[in-house]
Structures are given as C-alpha cells and as structure tokens.
Structure 1
Amino acid sequence: MNEQPPTTDAAALASDLRVVLGRLVRRLREQTEGSDLTRSQSSVLARLEREGAATATALARAEGVRPQSMAKIVAVLEEAGLISGSPDPRDGRKNVLSLTETAREQFRSGRLAKEDWLTRAIAAGLSPEETDRLAQCTELLERLTRTP
C-alpha cells in the first residue's frame, strides 16, 4: 500500500493546538464566577470529584505533595464547606474525605455556565458545516487523549 506523506507539519500543528486550546480553556474559565481557591485546592476538589472519596494521605500521594501540605489544603477546603471527612469503614483510625453537596453544586453550575457559553459561541460563530467539522475534530482530540 502506498502511503501519502502527511501534508501538515505535526510539530507546527501541535504548537497551534496548544495555543488555541489554551485560549479556549481560559475563555471557559472566565464563564464561571471567580474563586479564591488556589490551583492546589482546585486540583484536590477535581480529583475527589473524578475519583471519589480518598484519605488525605492518598490525595497527597496522587497530587505529589507532602502530607503536611495536604493537611493545610484539606483544612481550607473543610473550612470552606467544600469537603467533609468521615471515618474509614475499613480502618476507623483514618478519615475519608469527600465532596460536600455545596462543592458538587459548584461543579454542576460551573459546567453548565461553560457549556452554555460554548453552545452560544458555536451557534453564533460557526456554520452548520463548520459545526459538523468541529464534531469530527472533537472525536480526533478524544483519540489523542488516549495516545500513550
């Protein structure tokens, strides 16, 4: 089988994608109300939402921080009412942390605001043909996320 050489330079495309996706992420972040949380605090909340309840030790390991640093992050998030702890059913000496309903609602409302803005931007800025092309690109980007 005679394969055609790629017509697009992969390195240039990678650079362009990084820049454009960075801008898109920033625009999406602008759609939610401001937050006083640090990146580390936000990362812990996102991990708990994605992966479910965890101990502070497991969170520290997953986030690549010292247990003492995680203890400070946890204290701030508990004080803000975004996470709560309960005894580990397997080992009562440990505390399992999970998102509160307040945090879950913030995730839901933030996602809705972002999706609403993106829906309006697509409808206002793209033709039906371009919307179809974007859908195809989304499938390709999803495949890239699974590439080792």
Structure 2
Amino acid sequence: MVDTQTADDMLADFQAHLNLIFARAKALWKESAARVHPDLQPSGYKLLAYIARNGDTHAHQLADLFDLDKSAVSRQTRMLEEFGLLSSRPDERDGRLRVLAATPQACEVLAELRAENADRMRSVLAELTPEEVHAASKVFHLLAEA
C-alpha cells in the first residue's frame, strides 16, 4: 500500500505532466491552425476539426460542446466560411438553423495533419507495451468523463 505522502507526490507529478500535455496540445492546435490557413485561430481549428471528424452540426451544438459563447462560435464559423473551409446551408427540418459542414479542401488538409499526428503518436507510444497503452487510454477516458 502506498502511504499518503507518496500518493500525494505521485498525484502532483501526474498533474504536472497533464499540464505539460495541455500546453503541448495548445501549441499543436496553434501550429495546426496556421497550417490549415495562416489567419485561422486555434479555436476555429478545433471547431473545424470537430466538424470534419463528426459530420454536419449546428453552431449552438458547437457552443454547448466547447463551452463557448454563441457569438464566438458565430465569428469563428464565419471566418471558416470566408477561408473556404466550412459551408453552411439551411437546415431542412428547421429553417432557422444553419447546418455546418467541412469543405473537401478542409477535410483534405485535416486528414494530412491527422496522419502526421498519428505518426508522431505511434513513435512516442512505440516504447510502451500494448497493456501500457491500454492502461493510459483508460486513464484518459476516465479523466475525459470526470
């Protein structure tokens, strides 16, 4: 059994590494956004990546999911449309809503970025056993649900 001080030290170490992961993710979002379009902000990149990965959506769903103000989502989606990365059309079921979809151009560049990121992740995880990767995945799943 681990004593309380050791457990606290392990938790502090874990939290410090999580902070580094979040900082790296933020830098990666900024870098990826610039690769998609030089004027794209990281928040717009995250919205676009979500839409491309999950399919058509509405701005209010994005605002709820990312805990963003609807006006911020509106600004980002308008910029994405201006850059030719996002299309919008009236929702067939509710004409008050707009359906947002990633353009083929956006899907292509995002697929390239995903492939590069997957290669980087495989390289990093290559030193772990499949059991260790599974355990890490379980930890991240639990944290995502917390």
Question: What is the TM-score of this pair, normalised by structure 1?
Answer: 0.70
Which has the greater radius of gyration? 1
Q: Distance in 2 between matches of 1:33 and 1:140?
A: 31
Alignment equivalent of 2:74, drawn from 71, 74, 82:
71
Q: Distance in 1 between matches of 2:30 and 2:72?
A: 28
Alignment equivalent of 1:136, drawn from 128, 131, 138:
131
Q: Secondary structure at the match of 1:54?
A: coil
Alignment equivalent of 2:47, drawn from 41, 44, 47:
44
Q: Distance in 2 between matches of 1:65 and 1:27?
A: 20
Q: Distance in 2 between matches of 1:122 and 1:145?
A: 14
Mark the runs of 5 or more structure 1 residues left unpaired by the alignment.
Answer: 124-130
Mark the runs of 5 or more structure 2 residues left unpaired by the alignment.
Answer: none
Matched residue count? 136
8 Å contact from structure 1 (residues 31, 117) kept in 2:
no
Identity of paired residues, percent?
24
Q: CA RMSD in A?
A: 3.1
Alignment equivalent of 1:80, drawn from 73, 83, 90:
83
For residues 62-113 of structure 1, what are the alpha-carbon distances to aligned partners after superposition, in whole Å with 9 as ceiling and x for unaligned?
3333332222111100011111012212113321001111111112100112
Change (3 A) 1:120 1:59: closer
8 Å contact from structure 1 (residues 83, 99) kept in 2:
yes
What amino acid is aligned across from residue 49 of structure 2 in structure 1?
Answer: A
2:2 is aligned to: 6
8 Å contact from structure 2 (residues 51, 101) kept in 1:
yes
1:128 is aligned to: none
Change (3 A) 1:44 1:101: same
